[in-house]
Amino acid sequence: MKIDKQHIEERNQQSLDDHLESFDYIANRLTKNGIEVENVVQKLADFQVAIPSWALGAGGTRFGRFGFQGEPGTLEQKIDDVGAIHALTQTAGAISLHIPWDVPKDYTAIKELAQSHQISFDAVNSNTFQDQKNTTKSYKFGSLSNIDEAIREQAVEHNNEVIKIGNKLGSKSLTVWLADGASFPGQTNFQSALKQTQKSLQEIYASLPEDWKLFIEYKPYEPNFYSTVIQDWGTSFMLANECGEKAYTLVDLGHHLPNTNIEQIVSTLMMKGKLGGFHFNDSKYGDDDLTVGSVKPYALFLIFNALVYGMENNPQNPYPAWMIDASHNIKDPLEDIIQSLEAIQEAYAKALLVDQKALNEAQQNHDVVKCQEILQDAHRTDVRPLLQKARLQNGGALHPLKTYRSLGIRKQLVAERGANSVATGL
């Protein structure tokens, strides 16, 4: 399945006048305020977010899963889905694979297919939170932290294998997320679990190719409910430092206890040059993996404000790897991802509008009201015409979601794949 560029252009023509009118209005207003609009649009056009292979099908909960018709049943189909999203949004130029859910059979063919969609391979993710068919040891009581050396070795070996697979595809980073922890007090010894994890990560780090990065993800709870070995950014940061300069912390928005100040975490990590990757989603309670920006768009804006500041002021921090990490229980996954991309771009655009100089001055003067006004003024600006302009510039759709629907993409996918196809993953 491939979307014809011509069809996108035809749809764009229908609303081009409306777009130009609204773009002119906002561009004039921003220019008057000293914003270089072209510059903002270019930054938006360049901003690319990886799509995880597991977000293309229906996720489900432990209470059940409601499949979505036309789900991608193979890696090829997953790449096609990302290709469709990218064609419409021009913002999803990469896919992130989870191993062993997505082991390619024919590497050359897979790479060619991705190339034909202008998609690259972002971070590869290892999986030691589920037992695999071809393994003999169980991860029920942990993987990299396990007290049993043979289990740790199996988990390290799996990560090494994932690096090899990623290397053949052109990936440049490995993301490790561990479910390791304890569900009951006394179940594990905190110190030995952490020590073993550090040792195992150092072993994986030793197999990392020169130009690769290791991303260490943290999460406070789930699936273990009493403790998680890598529970917070501090633990991840410490482990990254123990591994070496190619190891970084990965921030997943859903992996924080309620009301955590994530923008402050972002700032600290960037100041220390250790923010490597980012997983976008939104949540009401925990790791809900909801559509980005659907619950707390202002919090997302504040996080982007910290990211923009870091990207402009912290050359010690590499350009972060962006990814959506979402799961869809009741929506068409592709529509959900399109909504997420729009929310990410919106928050980024608004953060780019923040008058950093004025904010700094207001901070120096302890003018708290002005500080808040500066942030809210940027946040209240309707930046959607800027997003449209960036997409138009790259050959995408002015209105990705409307175009997705009017082109009947889901119908085409169902016709091609059937109503009962099931995506591998969560």
Q: Which residue is nearest to ligand LRH (CB)?
A: 177
Task: Give the single-character DSSP code of 291.
Answer: P
Q: Cis link prior to 52 (omega < 30° from 0)?
A: no
Tokens in use for 353? 């509008």
Using CB atoms within 10 A of its CB, is residue 30 exposed (0-12), middle (13-18) or buried (19+)? middle
Q: Angle CA(422)–CA(78)–CA(76) in degrees, nearest 5?
A: 105
In the bound state with ligand LRH, the residue whose beta carbon lies nearer, of 169 and 386, is: 169
Distance CA 230, CA 246 (A): 18
Minimum Å gap between C-beta 119 and Mn ion is 20
Answer yes or no: are the C-beta atoms of 177 and 185 closer than 8 Å. Answer: no
Subset of 114-143 contacting ligand LRH (CB under 6 A): 125
Region of 45-53, 116-124, 179-187, 245-253 interacting with Mn ion (CB under 5 A): 245-253
125 binds, among ligand LRH, Mn ion, none (CB under 5 to 8 A by kind): ligand LRH
Q: Does 217 bind ligand LRH (CB under 6 A)?
A: yes
Exactly one of 252, 282, 335, 342 binds Mn ion (CB under 5 A); that residue is 252
Provide DSSP, 101-157. TT--S-HHHHHHHHHHTT-EE--EE---SS--TT-SS--TT-STT-SSHHHHHHHHH
Exactly one of 23, 54, 139, 304 binds ligand LRH (CB under 6 A); that residue is 54
Q: Angle CA(158)–CA(179)–CA(338) in degrees, nearest 5?
A: 90
54 binds, among Mn ion, ligand LRH, none (CB under 5 to 8 A by kind): ligand LRH
Contact map string, positions 259 to 288, toward Mn ion, x by CB under 5 A: --------------------x-------x-
Exactly one of 263, 325, 336, 342 binds Mn ion (CB under 5 A); that residue is 325
Region of 178-186, 298-306, 322-330, 378-386 interacting with Mn ion (CB under 5 A): 322-330
Subset of 255-284 contacting ligand LRH (CB under 6 A): 279
Residue ranges in contact with ligand LRH by CB under 6 A:
54, 125, 177, 217, 219, 252, 279, 287, 325, 426
